[in-house]
Structure 1
Amino acid sequence: MNPTTAAVRAGVSRGWTELRNSFANWQDLWGYFFPTAILLIVMFFMRNSTVPGTTFSLGTRTLPSTLGMGLAFTGMVGVAQQLLVEREDGTLLRAKAVPNGMLGYLIGKVVSIACVALIGLVLQVVPATLFLHGLAIHGVGGWLTLLWVVVLGLLATLPIGAVLGSLFEDARNFGLIVLPIMGSIAISGIFYPINSLPGWVQAVGQALPIYWLGLGMRSALLPDGMAAVELGHSWRHLETALALGVWAVLGLVLAPVVLRRMARRESGSRVAARREKAMQRVN
């Protein structure tokens, strides 16, 4: 068997194994259900508020945006967090020692984290349809839009997470990754229409993949008439595909380079030093 093919198969198997193991871990299950429950409660209380200038429910408009945000957050933060932790405990060093081990490792992360993102999507959409009027996938076109937005969104954000996780050696620096992402969410029109923000903020928000993921999810789950409150009074499918595609290409080109450089620096002495620091913090 071709070594690359073997690494891909091993990576897929690793990803499925990690996903199954997460279902037996109460902390992982809490991470699946608790944020979803909080989000649904907030959307429930927002259901009677309206989008400015319309009679449409603000909760219904906001939920698809948060779904896009969730995909981006899981893709970027999930990968970065796991890279930081597994770099510290030696998992990456062991993967590096196996032929094509880094390729298998990365594919495993992509599989497991992408599945986690999709699980979160389902857990939010299904119950939300029970109390948010107007939230629905409209016909074959809506399903196709949802499919390509989710796929492109994950391709655009997962490599970013891999790059971010490679830039730091200490898991205590995780906040340096989360804070900029939270800031980008705030200016991406997730919780409030972006056209209500200053022009320069709109420009910055549209340069980020989170805005386009939110817009794409809204286009798949909301009535066509709601495009009137978007920038350009359109769902801008072409621009969404181009923006997410550019981020995906940049990430897929940059991430392997950064990860290879990071893996070359890994050694037993570095892992031992990190463990010693971790033990000193515990003690």
Structure 2
Amino acid sequence: MNTTLLSAVKAGVARGRIELKHTFMTPQDLWTYFFPAFALLITMFFMRDATVPGTSFSLGSRTLPSALGMGIAFGGLVTIAAALTIEREDGTLLRAKAVPNGMFGYLVGKIVTVTGITLLSLAIQLIPAAFLLDGLSLSGWHTWFTLLWVVLLGLVATMPIGAIFGSMLSNPQNMGLIMLPIMGLIATSGIFYPITNFPTWLQWIAQVFPIYWLGLGMRSALLPDSMAAVEFGGSWRHLETVGVLGAWAAFGLIVAPIVLRRMARRESGSAVEARRTRAMQRTR
């Protein structure tokens, strides 16, 4: 790694740490982390007496790991896309472009920020759940090893895709174009109800995308092995999880730099000023 690139990495890590510190000290940002987590925990708590069809296992305990996987996907896809869209409009990306390897350092910073926020969100939900819900498996090296590789591979699989989405949107108001398909995938990916109860064609569609596999991976880490029986194929399918998430990661890591370079080349002072003017008109 040459000196310029190493400096960009260091600058990106420093940027990410500053953004994390800022967001952890901002009440509005903390509210966006804590409130959904508490709402989810309360919902899971009241679902604890319902059972997964065909078993006596709590539906609330089964749903929590799925929701954690959903959170990883949501953070990687939506947070990166929203940041790129907003900071493209306010000129942040243009300033990054003006620095040698500035775009690379910018992306490193976003990776640090999103990873930190994701880990915080996981802790906020997982620690109270250990006391509120029965049946979660939180002991043993297998649990923590599986959590580690699922979280890391999930972020690598989703963040480049989020960057691609963000580079394609020039207006933050167009985030609905990303949110609607993601919410549809969440509804059909077995997050809140076992995928085996869906039509066969819908099961196959869900298995193409990372959200289902992140939910499955988190369930394999936090649920007893007996719960694999209600999954598609009757197993946790770790090899398939690695394969699908790895394929999405490879696709994103190949395509994202190309798309981002093209986006950066189109950035100019006049383009930023035009977007600022449109933004001001929207707020009037």
TM, length-normalised to structure 2:
0.98
Partner Cα separation in structure 2 for residue 155 and residue 7 of structure 1: 20
- Other-structure match for 2:82: 81
Work out the CA distance in 2 between the residues paired with 1:276 and 1:143: 49
**Cα deviation, residue 142, structure 1:** 1.6
Distance in 2 between the 1:233 and 1:145 partners? 18
Secondary structure of the 1:281 match is helix
Q: Is the 8 A contact 1:219 1:227 kept in 2?
A: yes
Shift in Å at residue 278 of structure 1?
1.0
- Name the aligned partner's letter for residue 136 of structure 1: S
Residue 280 (structure 1) shift: 1.2
One-letter code aligned to 1:146 = L
* 1:209 CA drift (Å): 0.3
Alignment-derived partner of residue 198 in structure 1: 199
Structure 1 segments, 4+ long, off by >2 Å, are none
**TM superposition shift of 1:23:** 1.3
Which position in structure 2 is the counterpart of 1:150? 151
Distance 1:245 1:16 in 2: 27
Q: Secondary structure at the match of 2:56?
A: coil
Check conservation: 1:138, 1:221, Cα contact below 8 A.
no
Partner of 1:231 in structure 2?
232
Amino acid in the other structure paired with 2:57 = F
State the Cα deviation string for residues 112-144 of structure 1 (Å, max 9, x = none).
011101100010000011121011224111211
Other-structure match for 2:37: 36
> How do 1:169-208 and structure 2 match up within 5 A?
169-208=170-209
| Structure 2 spans left out of the alignment, 5+ residues | none
Deviations 1:47-98 (A, max 9, x none): 1100000000000000000000000001100000011100000000000000
Partner of 1:256: 257
> Which residue in the other structure is 1:125 paired with?
126
Q: Secondary structure at the match of 1:192?
A: coil
C-alpha separation between the residues in 1 aligned to 2:26 and 2:139? 36
The residue number in structure 1 matching 2:10 is: 9
Task: Provide the rounded CA distance (Å) in 1 between the counterparts of 2:187 and 2:282.
Answer: 33
C-alpha RMSD over aligned residues? 0.8
Report the residue type matching 1:165 in the other structure. G
Distance 1:232-1:138 versus aligned 2 partners, 3 A rule? farther
Cα displacement string for residues 5-52 of structure 1 (whole angstroms, at most 9, x for unaligned residues) = 110111011001100000121111111101101101100110110000
Q: Does the residue aligned with 2:192 lie in a helix, a strand or coil?
A: coil
